[in-house]
Structure 1
């Protein structure tokens, strides 16, 4: 399991964008980067820099994905027939931790990874504790009975800052969600612009 050394708020600050759309993000107050040199005027990024930044932003959005895991997901998207940027997004959104986050069972993508890891989630009636588990259309994801009253879960369902997208059918009374289809880029409610085409360019160099 990969370990994130920098806090999730530093990801926002480093990128200069509130990538999860959270009201508490420090970017809402300070748009410059962290550290003593954060306020220096930024130079113009090279093409490589723009592509790297797009990759860091997309990878960072999904929480604790390691570079190895992310590259593996890209390689799979490239092997499949179709539009690689769209396929990459579809594969990332098919992860179990992403589906749990989208269903609003937990407040953050980081909490989703931990929630799955700790065995609070069942897929089609069986407990699954692998965050990268690939959901298929029609899969039923549910919070285990013992976990439904956790403060984290109750808090998440009441969050007004984001809605459940239409490719997830969620019932918060029963804490059950169905992964109805694999989304494309236009279906995913990112709070900031994601550019998977630049990620493809980055790895295609």
Structure 2
């Protein structure tokens, strides 16, 4: 479990954006940062600040991964051939907790991590409780019968807040989701603009 589960909206406040697109986000009411000096922090960002912000936004979106986890994923993206930013996004979307969230089995990315950790998810028929486990093309993710009847799951599947992206095939009646293909940046339904190219620049220079 992430340390930030109970304070996830602090990320929204700190970045000044509703990064998950949720109606309850405090940014919808106050766009400035948290704390008594929050309203004074609207200075022009340097190139480093812009890149750092892009990294914090992308990292925060996926349940506020630790820097070590995020850097490891970036290092793998850098080793592969192709656009590093696109590959980075694809690797993040292949995380099991991200797939569970995208399939609308749970309402938030934080809930997805907890849901997986508690053993409610199977990959190709085998139980998996590792949120960072990587899902491959053609893999079938199934949630347990008990989990399918949880209020959290029913509410998430019926929510009109977001749609299931086309790189997943989901059957909520059976509690299954098939990972069809690895998405590129343009395929991922981020509620705000993500800039993985700036994340690449950040790591290249620091």
Hey, what does 1:61 align to over in structure 2?
61
Which shows bigger deviation, 144-153 or 163-172?
144-153
Q: How many positions carry a matched residue from both structures? A: 205
Counterpart for residue 28 of structure 2: 28
Aligned to 1:92: 92
**Judging changes above 3 Å, is the alpha-carbon distance between structure 1 residues 6 and 34 closer, same or farther for their aligned structure 2 residues?**
farther
Could you list the runs of 5+ residues in structure 2 that have no partner in the other structure? Answer: none
Structure 2 CA distance for aligned equivalents of residues 23 and 5 of structure 1: 17
Counterpart position of 1:107: 107
Question: What secondary structure sits across from 1:137 in the alignment?
Answer: coil
Aligned 8 A contact 2:33 2:41 in 1: no
User: Matches of residues 141-180 of structure 1 in structure 2 within 5 Å?
Assistant: 141-180=141-180
Distance across 2 between alignment mates of 1:180 and 1:130: 21
Q: TM-score, normalised by structure 2?
A: 0.97
Give the secondary-structure state (helix, strand or coil) at the position aligned to 2:54: helix
The reply to whether residue 4 of structure 1 matches residue 17 of structure 2 is no
Q: Once the 2 structures are TM-superposed, how far is the Cα of residue 158 of structure 1 from its aligned partner? A: 1.1
1:186 correspondence with 2:186: yes
Distance in 2 of aligned mates of 1:19 and 1:80: 28
CA RMSD of aligned residues (A): 1.1
Deviation at 1:3, TM superposition (A): 2.6
Deviations 1:10-49 (Å, cap 9, x if unpaired)? Answer: 1001100000000110001111111101111511100000
Q: Quote the Cα distance in structure 1 between the aligned partners of 2:199 and 2:166.
A: 25
2:38 is paired with a residue whose SS is coil
